[in-house]
């Protein structure tokens, strides 16, 4: 179970309903403090070792695009129409595409990208569903995948917290990543390893990077048409 104020989600559909109607203000509150959120985005992008196409499911207002490595193109989707509209307004440019679309539609269509970067998707999803989703997202990644989440061992509930996000056990997360098909290397970093998070609750976070074996020789596919926008 996850919660934000009086909203409680127990299923994936609950989470989708919550985010499809959540206000921009709710998203901005989640991204506070902004410096920490931006630092996590950059930590997630640290798994990209070469230019390529980047897919961000649950892209929100597209803040990740401000930190894309040189030479990368980007496709982000979100179930919240207002978030996508703000992303299009503020951050659209050549090679960057935002779409109001369910990530399940993207995965069901078999679209593939070089890099899949998951930065805020799991916050209100059931933990068991996120493990299944990681495997599905990995199938869409030709070169690698990065995920930011919360350390289940360190992030307990507190009566004064407005939220209770989905969290993961580090060993379980690492074990799943190591079992992914054609995975070559996996690295799990703890928030406390980043100097900027020391002394701050964001040190309880986790950053997972997984890289695919180049010998798998998966052919990259093009981004969706630039004509399709939210």
Residue 223 counted as domain residue: no
Q: H helices within 22-126, ranges in order?
A: 24-30, 34-45, 81-91, 103-108
Per-residue pLDDT at 26: 87
The answer on pLDDT for 221 being more than 80 is no
CA gap 219, 214 in Å, rounded: 11
> 113 pLDDT band (50/70/90 cuts)?
very high
The answer on pLDDT for 162 being more than 80 is no
CA gap 42, 26 in Å, rounded: 22
Per-residue pLDDT at 5: 62
Q: Could you tell me the residue range of the domain that residue 64 belongs to? A: 2-216
Per-residue pLDDT at 111: 96
> 227 pLDDT band (50/70/90 cuts)?
very low
Residue 221 counted as domain residue: no
Q: Strands 2-4 and 7-9, how do they pair?
A: antiparallel
105's CB contacts (< 8 A; 6+ apart) are: none
Per-residue pLDDT at 156: 61
> 158 pLDDT band (50/70/90 cuts)?
low
| Residue 179 burial (CB count, 10 A) | 10
Number of domain units in the chain: 1
The answer to whether 207 touches 148, Cβ cutoff 8 Å, is yes
CA gap 78, 57 in Å, rounded: 7
For residue 225, what are its two tokens?
A: 């048409």
Residue 222 counted as domain residue: no
Per-residue pLDDT at 161: 55
The answer on pLDDT for 110 being more than 90 is yes
> 197 pLDDT band (50/70/90 cuts)?
confident
Q: At what angle do helices 170-178 and 127-139 cross, to 10 degrees?
A: 30
The answer on pLDDT for 30 being more than 90 is no
Q: What is the pTM of this model?
A: 0.89
The answer on pLDDT for 93 being more than 70 is yes
CA gap 94, 81 in Å, rounded: 21
What's the CATH number where 128 sits?
3.40.50.150
């Amino acid at each position: 179970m996850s919660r934000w104020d009086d909203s409680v989600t127990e299923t994936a559909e609950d989470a989708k309903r919550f985010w499809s109607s959540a206000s921009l203000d709710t998203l901005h509150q989640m991204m506070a403090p902004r410096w920490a959120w931006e630092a996590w985005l950059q930590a997630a992008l640290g798994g990209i070792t070469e230019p390529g196409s980047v897919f961000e499911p649950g892209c929100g207002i597209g803040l990740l695009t401000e930190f894309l490595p040189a030479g990368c193109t980007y496709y982000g989707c979100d179930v919240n129409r207002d978030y996508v509209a703000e992303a299009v307004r503020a951050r659209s440019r050549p090679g960057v595409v935002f779409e109001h679309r369910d990530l399940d539609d993207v995965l069901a269509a078999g679209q593939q990208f070089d890099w899949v970067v998951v930065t805020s998707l799991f916050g209100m999803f059931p933990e068991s569903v996120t493990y299944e989703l990681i495997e599905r997202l990995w199938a869409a990644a030709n070169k690698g995948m990065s995920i930011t989440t919360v350390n289940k061992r360190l992030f307990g509930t507190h009566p004064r917290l407005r939220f209770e996000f989905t969290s993961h056990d580090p060993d379980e997360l690492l074990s799943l990543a190591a079992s992914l098909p054609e995975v070559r290397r996996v690295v799990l970093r703890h928030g406390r390893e980043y100097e900027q998070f020391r002394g701050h609750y964001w040190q309880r976070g986790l950053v997972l990077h997984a890289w695919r074996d180049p010998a798998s020789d998966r052919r990259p596919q093009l981004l969706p048409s630039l004509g399709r926008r939210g």
